[in-house]
Amino acid sequence: MRAQITERHDRWLAWSRDRFGVLLALVVLNYVVLMLLPGDRAAALAGFVIVGATTLFALDAAAAPRRVRIVARLVLILLPVLPLIFVLGRVDVVGPMVPISLGLMMVVTVVVIIRRLLGHITISGATLLAAVDAYVLIGLVFAQLFYGFSKLAIAAPFLAQPVHPIRPDFIYLSFVVLTTLGFGDLTPHTEVARTLVITEALVGQIFLVTAVARVVSLYGTTRREERPGAPEE
């Protein structure tokens, strides 16, 4: 029985490796679902499930080290205890912890994806999709962080506008900042909020004009593998 489980797991890892097109579909699904979900507790649980599943698939697609995948699974096994308390009404205790924890997990996912695409010898469609996945995931990372920090006293009120923001508002704000659209209908208020927003703008633009642009320019080419002791040309 154990041998069968191991064999199926190995087959899954072999199939999912570099499936960045599937990951992009999951990431877009994350965006759509999180934008359309209302701000109630059932929606929070549904968001937790879809973000967690996407994170695990991203780690498999990026061929993350075994230890990283094990830690990610353990974290996602433990985190449901927090949404359970959240459902029972302890919003003041658990509200910020779940989105912040998911955001930090997604940061690791972005790093692993970048590590994978840098390891591609041939710059193919999978490499380009990996760069796009990482870019969109950056937006989702900060959306989770915005939402989580908005529930902490050190960052409240997160927005300057006199509204009661819900999760879709922070997703909208995150992608407006990431793409530097600057509509101005939602703006950060506290120092913590402004720091997070500026950090996302810098990270997003630096990643876009370096990693994504570089991958596009090298698309279809093959990098020369450097051999130890090989003479420089």
How confident is the model at residue 232, as a pLDDT? 42
The overall average pLDDT reported for the chain is 84
CA angle 117, 52, 21 (to 5 degrees): 40
Angle between helices 41-61 and 2-16 (to 10 degrees): 80
pLDDT in tens, 100-137: 888 999 999 999 999 999 889 989 999 999 999 999 99
What percent of the chain is modeled with pLDDT above 70? 87
Is 1 exposed, middle or buried (CB count within 10 Å of its CB: 0-12, 13-18, 19+)? exposed
Q: What is this structure's pTM?
A: 0.87
Sign of CA dihedral 56, 100, 147, 129: negative
CA-based nearest residue to 207, from 125, 143, 119, 113:
113
**Cα angle: 123, vertex 127, 128; to 5 degrees:** 100
Task: Answer whether 48's CB lies under 8 Å from 102's CB.
Answer: yes
Question: Which whole-number Å values give the CA distances from 86 to 20, 54, 80, 96, 187, in the listed order?
Answer: 33, 22, 10, 10, 28
**Segment 174-179 mean pLDDT:** 94
Q: Tokens for 39, please give them.
A: 């701000």
